[in-house]
Amino acid sequence: MDSAFWHSRWENKQIGFHSDSFNVHLEKFWKSLSVAKGATVFVPLCGKTLDMLWLLKEGYKVIGVELSEIAIQDFFSENNLDYKTYDEGAFRYYSSGDLTILHGNFFDISEQEIGQCTACYDRASLIALPREMRQRYVDKLKKFHKMASQQLLVTLEYDQSIKNGPPFSVSIDDVHALYTDTHTIKLSYETEIIDEMIGFQKAGVTSITERVFTIT
Ligand SMILES: C[S@@+](CC[C@H](N)C(=O)[O-])C[C@H]1O[C@@H](n2cnc3c(N)ncnc32)[C@H](O)[C@@H]1O
């Protein structure tokens, strides 16, 4: 998935992945990670997710990274948040209190930008990437050991031969292949969500399993 694909999605408002409410799995399962209040949580490929507000509300600091400036500016304006911007390294920083969103490419992040993060929330981020980009994505996350070791991961699995991604199908085996050498993976929850996914139904998909993993 190249940058042009995502820029076009935001320009054309094709953002069906965005939710106008907090993610129910975040609300339910985040506490199982026992992340200390005041810690800084990394939200890779953050879009304009309201989940960043949930994390702030719960007493965390948040750093997101997002390719699309439209997404970032929408996030601040739709939530009536003042922000300041400054450029440093490969990123433009959008900063508001305990929240910073980095405008730029996830693959350019370094210790300088997210070294203080000690936990990670991945919803619709790993699954936004095609199979051939996943290992690179996870290898990058794993460079930040503390952060990658307190992670909530939400995935979808469906028959990829019927419909192409994104979101891409990620199986339990895929998650194990990516993390099992270095991390403990716990499947916290799984549920069938095809009834909520009209676009997938129209494409002929008959089942989608949503899963929540804790990775420690
Ligand atoms: C499927 S959306 C999910 C957004 C968010 N996690 C959510 O739950 O709503 C994926 C997002 O990742 C962004 N993105 C894709 N590739 C990226 C990259 N390499 N660096 C930063 N952001 C990226 C896209 O612009 C898009 O907003």
Question: In angstroms, what is the span from residue 45 Cα to ligand 1's centroid?
Answer: 4
Question: In angstroms, what is the span from residue 24 Cα to ligand 1's centroid?
Answer: 19
Please report the pLDDT score of residue 81 as a whole number. Answer: 98
Residue nearest to atom 3 of ligand 1 (CA): 124
Please report the pLDDT score of residue 75 as a whole number. Answer: 98
Question: In angstroms, what is the span from residue 184 Cα to ligand 1's centroid?
Answer: 25
Rounded CA-CA distance 119/146 in Å is: 7
Class of domain 3-13+20-215: alpha beta
pLDDT in tens, 110-158: 999 999 999 999 999 999 999 999 999 999 999 998 888 899 999 999 9
Residue 170 has pLDDT above 80, yes or no: yes
If you average pLDDT over residues 27-37, what whole number do you get?
Answer: 97
Which ligand 1 atom lies nearest to the CA of residue 19? 9
Global model pTM greater than 0.95 = yes
Percentage of the chain surpassing pLDDT 90?
Answer: 97
Please report the pLDDT score of residue 41 as a whole number. Answer: 98
Residue 23 has pLDDT above 90, yes or no: yes
| String of DSSP letters for 27-91 | HHHGGGG-PPTT-EEEETT-TT-THHHHHHHTT-EEEEEES-HHHHHHHHHHTT---EEEEETTE
If you average pLDDT over residues 18-41, what whole number do you get?
Answer: 97
Dihedral of CA atoms 192, 198, 204, 208 in degrees, nearest 10, equals -20
Residue 29 token pair? 């399962």
pLDDT in tens, 58-103: 999 999 999 999 999 999 999 999 999 999 999 999 999 999 999 9
If you average pLDDT over residues 176-185, what whole number do you get?
Answer: 96
Which residues lie with the beta carbon below 6 Å from any ligand 1 atom? Answer: 6, 17-18, 45-47, 49, 65-68, 71, 105-107, 123-125, 128, 166
Please report the pLDDT score of residue 64 as a whole number. Answer: 98
Phi, psi of 121 (to 5 degrees): -120, 115
CA 70 to centroid of chain Cα atoms: 17
Residue nearest to atom 27 of ligand 1 (CA): 47
pLDDT in tens, 40-62: 999 999 999 999 999 999 999 99
Q: Is 123 marked as binding a ligand?
A: yes
Residue 30 token pair? 């985040």
Please give the mean pLDDT across all residues of the chain.
Answer: 97
| Residue-range domain boundaries for the chain | 3-13+20-215
Please report the pLDDT score of residue 149 as a whole number. Answer: 87
Rounded CA-CA distance 35/39 in Å is: 7
Q: Is 50 marked as binding a ligand?
A: no
Residue 1 has pLDDT above 80, yes or no: no
If you average pLDDT over residues 12-28, what whole number do you get?
Answer: 97
